[in-house]
Structure 1
């Protein structure tokens, strides 16, 4: 599940820049009750990109900006409560790690869904049903 975190330079502390990805990735799994799932955990991948503040725009003006984009299978985020929890937790993480006065209203969270059957890992295309079986099997192995 690719995660792209785009930040203005200086928005987070140096330590925050190092830990933001792992915290957001963990939050993605935790809100689904899948923390530590042996199948899913290695599929949470991505980047943290840091841009000069003068290249970050909100309201048409250069200013601090945090954008968290998650690309997931279409069965992910099955209801409004899971969506709301993830958006809140991801925004809270940015707030906890920020270096200064970045306002909460310039942190954006966006989720994009893959078409069923177009989620690929290691050269294998998974349908939603395939993913459910793989996740369930990995959960059963952990027990």
Structure 2
């Protein structure tokens, strides 16, 4: 079930779909559907002391993209919450942007699992992550 931007905003509560942390990191969601979610963050401002992209920044990008896809899959009456994230950092990124592409591994009734591949501007793989989200009924609104 594909949701439009207004419906996704209603579910996620953020028109940029990045949340407060993602927004502070400069995260942009470029494409969002149940088949694929793409987003990016700048390396600058998201580095560790050696000037390399912080591994936690890759994890924020990965979890955001997988969560957006899971929310689309869950639909209007359900929410998606991350329950497990793992990431393997393959190489350093020192400039430009890193782009994440999330694709579903499993889209079930209670769980959704995504693989997120993060690449640098040259297309080299920086990180591979896997996110599992639990899908549950949305809280009742007043």
TM, length-normalised to structure 2:
0.31
TM, length-normalised to structure 1:
0.31
**Bigger share in helix:** 1
Highest relative contact order (Cα 8 Å, sep 6+), 1 or 2?
A: 1
**Bigger share in strand:** 2
| Bigger CA radius of gyration | 1
